[in-house]
Amino acid sequence: MRQCRQQKSVAWKDAAAIDPVTATDEENERRVTQGLKAQFPDHVVIGEEAAAAAGSIPKLTKAPTWVIDPIDGTTNFVYGLALSCVSIGFCEGGVPVVGVVYDPYSDELFVAAQGEGAYLNGRRIQVDNAEKLSEAMVLFELGYVRSPEGVDRMLGGVRALMLGGVRANRFIGSAVLCLAWVACGRASAYYTGVAGEGGKPWDFAAGAVIAKEAGAHLCSMSGGPFDIESGNCLCSSSEALASNLLSCLRAAGICKE
């Protein structure tokens, strides 16, 4: 990835040409899948590009399953913005239990396993201690939705948080890095999925384990249990912050209980 900073050769997964795929996505996924299959021939592997080629996302089962995003933040990658990563999650019984995320630009490796804590380049990491919006740096995604209603909802969320006194909002274009950054305290919360723009299982599988093991509170945008197949996610440094953020978005009609 580091060697191909700006991609000239891009294909688009959608007619509007906003969701890109590059040869590097495909090559990364081929290499990771090959390595995993060699080590764990009986395990299931779900990869973003294989799913795109097949035209559907396989449902997660109870079987041991690897969930790969070969490049998360592909649009950043295409434009040469150094904000993308490789993400590999492992699920057991349908639940993510191991996460590995590598950001080649900053040479940062995030790893976590259920019950074992989360680490960044070998050092234990922890979420920050924000509880109020006024103490929070909130990450958000403007995704691939382009309907007027969807765009209004996404921007309405940003507006509600800003009027609600949030300390800062940032959009970085990589769902996986957003989760990893909440885990290491670079941000206090990350949310997605208020307008159907939300992520896919490979956007959440690894990052969710890393964030959870770093002490994050994960839930759905309705405040229920988090599910990597639901297309929405709120990851925050504390339950109190999740509750404050959801109250603010609900009051503005952006999401419901």
Residues 47, 99, 173, 215: which binds ligand IPD (CB under 6 A)?
173
227 contributes a contact to ligand IPD by CB under 6 A: no
- List the structure tokens of 216: 């994050």
Q: What residues from 185 to 214 belong to the interface with ligand IPD (CB under 6 A)?
A: 199-200, 203
Extended strands (E) in 73-194? 85-92, 95-103, 108-113, 118-120, 123-124, 137-140, 168-171, 189-192
28 contributes a contact to ligand IPD by CB under 6 A: no
174 contributes a contact to ligand IPD by CB under 6 A: yes
- Catalytic residue positions, numbered: 48, 69, 71-72, 74, 203
47 contributes a contact to ligand IPD by CB under 6 A: no
Residues 74, 188, 236, 244: which binds ligand IPD (CB under 6 A)?
74
Residues 24, 26, 65, 73: which binds ligand IPD (CB under 6 A)?
73
Listed residue (178, 200, 198) closest to 84, CA to CA: 178
18: left (phi over 0), alpha (psi -120 to 50) or beta: alpha
- List the structure tokens of 131: 């509880």
What's at 207, amino acid-wise? G
Cβ contact 249:194 at 8 Å: yes
Comparing CB distances to ligand IPD, the nearer of 4 and 240 is 4
Three-state SS letters, 111-130: EEECCCCEEECCEECCCCCC
Comparing CB distances to ligand IPD, the nearer of 143 and 185 is 143
143 contributes a contact to ligand IPD by CB under 6 A: yes
Comparing CB distances to ligand IPD, the nearer of 131 and 203 is 203
Residues 26, 29, 72, 213: which binds ligand IPD (CB under 6 A)?
72
CA 69-226-116 angle, to 5 degrees, is 70
Number of Cβ within a 10 Å radius of residue 35 = 12
141 contributes a contact to ligand IPD by CB under 6 A: yes
Residues 175, 189, 234, 241: which binds ligand IPD (CB under 6 A)?
175
Tell me which residues touch ligand IPD (CB under 6 A).
48, 69, 72-74, 141, 143, 173-175, 199-200, 203
